[in-house]
Amino acid sequence: MKEIRGNVIVGQSGGPTAVINSSLVGVYKTARDRGAKIVYGMLHGIQGLLESRVVDLSDHIKSDLDIELLKRTPSSYLGSCRFKLPEIHEDQEIYKKIFHILDDMEIEYFFYIGGNDSMDTIKKLSDYSILNGSRIRFMGVPKTIDNDLAATDHTPGYGSAAKYIGSITKEVIRDGLVYDQQNVTLIEIMGRNAGWLTGAAALAKCEDCEGPDMIFLPEIPFDIEEFMNKIAGLHKQKKSVVVAISEGIRVEDGRYVCELTDNVDYVDAFGHRQLTGTARYLASRIARETGCKTRAIEFSSLQRCASHMVSRVDITEAYQVGGAAVKAAFEGETGKMVILKRISDDPYICVTDIYDVHKVANIEKKVPREWINEAGDYVTEEFLNYLRPLIQAELTPIMTDGLPRHLYCKNNKNQ
């Protein structure tokens, strides 16, 4: 007979991915299967919890079809937030309020699916809980397309975004070849200060495609003059040039290239500037200085939620990390994040483990220098060997009337 457990709450935080709801299902199903009484969902993460905006997930997930739909639904079903908790010594009131709300709901287990900012929330809540003798257990479930979380081999969300980027980069390259005329296409890819996602553009280089001509990651300072010279050099050899550029590239003095445009002011609660406009800025500069036809394509939010092209490896692991978090918390763990540990590349074998969240929160894992070529304008074969297993296989969407069908949350006021 299964043991009866206390109540569970789960939230989603930070930027969305194509598979974050698979982790939500992993938490929900594992918790229910292992005896949790009620599994609540926070609407818009900790920010919604502060206003007691929660739902009972069993009112939302009623059938096996709902489970399959939710797994395949992109973006955060419960809604998300970018909300930074103060340091515990700075403001106890907000913690008192959160624990009061959790105690009223008889919560014993708290799960937060997110990236390094979200792990900061788990770290602070678990510290407060221990300091104040609460029995609530706090666990982090990793997620981010940026793949910049420390300690884990990779993060759920990354493989699917990388698969999409590799695929559409191939299509952009094909498109650029259509006219017998010089042209430059600059592709701007997310990932903030880490180049994991931008490096995925190199997947396009394969038997039937020569791949992008250059790839610039934020790990290497960006020299605009050198970049212009390289474009000119490439145009001596070929007409259509395609370059992948990370949204987070910076010039030598530390400024983001997109800041040179002076048109982005938005900064979130964690102090992250919205990065956009890098490709546009560089494309305009090429057009102005050379007269060449240019096109700037910002993949932007398209690359985060392309659930029609998820990696089966990724969506399966997203489910597993949710389940592993529940198992660990039910066994008494707190203040930890689930990590993925790669056992081998070929065959690809990866297992879950848990890791101290204090050693993960707010740390950005960058692409190692040796996985970037010497010239700083492409990734190496080692990078691709690391990435390729993560994009393998597909999970077909459930199609209705020619389009993928999603499960949406009727309680989420923004929907």
Among residues 117, 120, 127, 146, which one is catalytic? 146
Shortest distance, position 268 Cβ to ligand F6P, whole Å: 6
Shortest distance, position 195 Cβ to ligand F6P, whole Å: 11
Of 20, 42, 102, 190, the one binding ligand F6P (CB under 6 A) is 190
Of 275, 321, 357, 372, the one binding ligand F6P (CB under 6 A) is 275
Q: Does 146 bind ligand F6P (CB under 6 A)?
A: yes
Q: Is 148 a catalytic residue?
A: no
Tell me whether residue 193 is annotated as binding.
no
- Read off the tokens for 342: 């790669």
Q: Does 366 bind ligand F6P (CB under 6 A)?
A: no
First to last CA, the chain: 40
Of 82, 239, 285, 366, the one binding ligand F6P (CB under 6 A) is 82
Contact partners, residue 343, CB within 8 Å, separation at least 6: 349, 350, 351
Assess contact for 188 and 302: CB atoms under 8 A.
Answer: no
Shortest distance, position 257 Cβ to ligand F6P, whole Å: 14
Rounded-to-10 torsion of CA 181, 298, 376, 359: -170
Give the span between the Cα atoms of 165 and 202, in whole angstroms. 9
**CB atoms inside a 10 Å sphere around CB 313:** 22
In whole angstroms, what separates CA 397 from the centre of its chain?
20
Tell me whether residue 190 is annotated as binding.
yes
Tell me whether residue 79 is annotated as binding.
no
Tell me whether residue 247 is annotated as binding.
yes
SS (H, E, C) 330-392: HCCCCCEEEEEEEEEECCEEEEEEEEEHHHCCCCCCCCCHHHECCCCCCECHHHHHHHHHHHC
**CB atoms inside a 10 Å sphere around CB 206:** 12
- Complex with ligand F6P: residue 146 or 219, whichever CB lies closer: 146
User: Site size for ligand F6P, by CB under 6 A?
Assistant: 15
- Complex with ligand F6P: residue 248 or 323, whichever CB lies closer: 248
Give the span between the Cα atoms of 304 and 291, in whole angstroms. 33
Q: Where are the beta strands (DSSP E) in 190-335?
A: 214-216, 240-246, 293-298
Q: Is 399 helix (H, G, I), strand (E, B) or coil?
A: strand
- Complex with ligand F6P: residue 124 or 192, whichever CB lies closer: 192
Question: Which stretch in 70-78, 100-108, 185-193, 325-333 sits in contact with ligand F6P by CB under 6 A?
Answer: 185-193
Binding string to ligand F6P for residues 14 to 33, with x set by CB under 6 A, is what?
xx------------------
Give the span between the Cα atoms of 257 and 248, in whole angstroms. 8
Question: Which stretch in 1-9, 267-275, 313-321, 333-341 sits in contact with ligand F6P by CB under 6 A?
Answer: 267-275
Active-site amino acid positions: 146
Q: Which residues are annotated as part of the binding site?
A: 15, 116, 144-146, 190-192, 247
Would you tell me which residues interact with ligand F6P (CB under 6 A)? 14-15, 82, 115, 144-146, 190-192, 247, 268, 274-275, 304
Q: Which residues are annotated as part of the binding site for substrate?
A: 144-146, 190-192, 247
Q: Which residues are annotated as part of the binding site for diphosphate?
A: 15
Q: Which residues are annotated as part of the binding site for Mg(2+)?
A: 116
